[in-house]
Structure 1
Amino acid sequence: MATLVATPRSRALGFGLRAARVARGLGLRELARLVDVAPQVLSHWESGTRVPRVEQVGLILGAMRVEPVERGRLLELAEYAKEPNWLERTSFALGSYLEYERAASAMVNWEPHLVPGLLQTSEYAQVIFGSHGLPRQEVDRLTRIRLRRREVLTGRHRLSCSVLVGEEALRRTLGDPETMAGQLRHLVQAARLENISLRVVPSDSGYHPGLKGSFVLFDFAQLPPVVHIEHLRGNSHLYDREYVTDYRVAATTMTSLALTELDSHRFIQTVLVELGR
């Protein structure tokens, strides 16, 4: 039996293959017949648990007439699919990150300076995207994508989400005071959901590993965990067990430093009062 892989690149390859198949209106068995592979094998390729050879990927892409840019991206993913870690050159946590959120059973999100994307209001998100000098149309598009991500928190299969947010993120005013107040009120409301744990890490907590930067740790029901780190011009995906363990320990450390859920909600209300809202 082939060894299960499920590295970040192999999952991204699988996401891309499945998206191309759906866009062409092909069923799994139909595509499997076209490229002469067993449906079970194709299913493993689409889930990222096994990796096709580069020439097999080329055959699949040819059968689906995938456009050249996407074809090149998927072939590159196939070539390096078995490498454990990956620096993805895409901005604003799109691409593979969105699939992680949809497929994960649980996530831990640490954000020292900003409200986590899943819990942002449209006004708060627009301030962030607008600061990059993007056209208004692109700002609106990215904001719509960000808001649609909330479905994983409120849909039928709700993601278990543990949010650790730094005090600075709550006190840093983005936009005008009303925008920030609306964002804080939304946090209080979101924290009432049973699948969300929202806790604040005070600024006077001393040194802790979270001072190195934000990260998201994804756990999956049947696949190995992945750590995602967003950068200015790309995203890191960490798969090595040693790396994942270090981030899990970091999350545990910060949880021990954080206020309780109740005290965190009271703290947010205090910041709202300080804003005069």
Structure 2
Amino acid sequence: MAQSKKKDSAPPTVQYFAAVLRLLRERAGFTQDELGALMNYTGSAVSAVETCAKPPTDEFIDAAEKALDAGGLLRSAIKYLRLERYPVYFQGFVQLEQEAVAVSSYCTQVIDGLLQTKDYARALLKSNYPPFEPEELEQLVEARMDRKALLTRKPMALIHTILEEAALRRRIGGAEVMRAQLRHLIECAQLPNVTIQVMSLTHAEHAGLRGPFTVLETADQTALVYMESNGKSTLTTKPEEVGELSRRYAMIRTQALGPKESVSFIEQLMGDL
């Protein structure tokens, strides 16, 4: 009964993958233990995926693809399974983000998810209330790490992030985690397509005080704006709204420290930890 409830509550793509995996396994004449042995997994691990007790990892899918000679049928699900690791309200945005030619974000409370380390992301997600189940937490962490592929994607995407100084000073995860996070920001800033700026606390009044947002530009030159708060999101392509927020972003950018000054500032903060 518990397994049945788990299966019914699993996302549709997870349920479909489980059904296809079981069908291919049975057609090949393998038991769960036999397939697991071919994949270097246990039979219980195969059972967990087939009953939707656990969603398949990318590594599991690759191993099953090879063991069952699935002709790409299982591996083709990775893109859709990855998408379902994200909260429903975020799925539309992340699809657009991964295809964008330019992403410009302004972050006030925490560091942009594209630039987070795994330890920082885990500590941040642990602060959620009500808390996530351990398995769900790790899925969300992995999903956030998947987004980072955009940083090195070809064709290159232009990434620009403006971070409030307060977000850099908040020691999420403790001093060691934060030091590693700041070091990662410095490394990201060395990438030719990534620009990071800091909005200093000394600049008390500035154009970003109304809150965070992200401006995306797609390959067909469509601009859109994404805003998120308390598990709810807004994604707009209305020209008047996008135009207003794009102009606001441009003003915030002029008010923030320059890219070189910002890196020096982050280095100083890292040294103070």
**Common fold by TM > 0.5:** yes
Q: CA deviation at 1:263?
A: 0.7
Q: CA deviation at 1:124?
A: 0.6
Partner of 1:46: none
The answer to whether residue 143 in structure 2 is matched with residue 145 in structure 1 is yes
Structure 1 runs of 4+ with >4 Å offset = 22-25, 90-93
Partner of 1:97: 93
Aligned length: 192
Aligned-partner residue type, residue 233 of structure 2? N
- Where 2:120 maps in the other structure, the secondary structure is helix
Trace 1:1-277 onto structure 2 (pairs within 5 A). 91=87, 94-132=90-128, 133-275=131-273
Q: Is the 8 A contact 1:91 1:234 kept in 2?
A: no
Aligned-partner residue type, residue 146 of structure 2? R
Q: CA deviation at 1:248?
A: 0.6
Structure 1 CA distance for aligned equivalents of residues 89 and 198 of structure 2: 23
Larger radius of gyration: 2
Aligned-partner residue type, residue 207 of structure 1? E
Structure 1 CA distance for aligned equivalents of residues 204 and 185 of structure 2: 25
Structure 2 unaligned regions, length at least 5: 1-12, 21-85
- Where 1:98 maps in the other structure, the secondary structure is helix
Aligned-partner residue type, residue 109 of structure 1? S
- Where 2:96 maps in the other structure, the secondary structure is helix
Structure 2 CA distance for aligned equivalents of residues 93 and 212 of structure 1: 21
Q: CA deviation at 1:143?
A: 0.5
Aligned-partner residue type, residue 117 of structure 1? G
> Residues 92, 194 of structure 1: CA spacing in aligned structure 2 closer, same or farther, 3 A cutoff?
farther
CA-to-aligned-CA distance 1:120-149 (integer Å, 9 cap, x gap): 001111111111110111111000010111
Q: CA deviation at 1:206?
A: 2.7
Structure 1 CA distance for aligned equivalents of residues 205 and 247 of structure 2: 15
Q: CA deviation at 1:175?
A: 1.4
- Where 1:207 maps in the other structure, the secondary structure is coil
TM-score with structure 2 length normalisation? 0.66
Structure 1 CA distance for aligned equivalents of residues 154 and 231 of structure 2: 33
Q: CA deviation at 1:203?
A: 1.1
TM-score with structure 1 length normalisation? 0.65
Q: Is the 8 A contact 2:227 2:235 kept in 1?
A: yes
Structure 1 unaligned regions, length at least 5: 1-18, 26-89
Q: CA deviation at 1:259?
A: 1.0
Q: CA deviation at 1:157?
A: 2.0
Q: Which has the higher contact order (CA 8 A, sep 6+)?
A: 1
> Residues 140, 229 of structure 1: CA spacing in aligned structure 2 closer, same or farther, 3 A cutoff?
same
Q: CA deviation at 1:158?
A: 2.3
Q: CA deviation at 1:93?
A: 6.2
Aligned-partner residue type, residue 254 of structure 2? S
Structure 1 CA distance for aligned equivalents of residues 182 and 88 of structure 2: 22
Aligned-partner residue type, residue 119 of structure 1? L
Q: Is the 8 A contact 1:127 1:174 kept in 2?
A: yes
**What percent of counterpart residues are identical?**
26
CA RMSD of aligned residues (A): 2.3
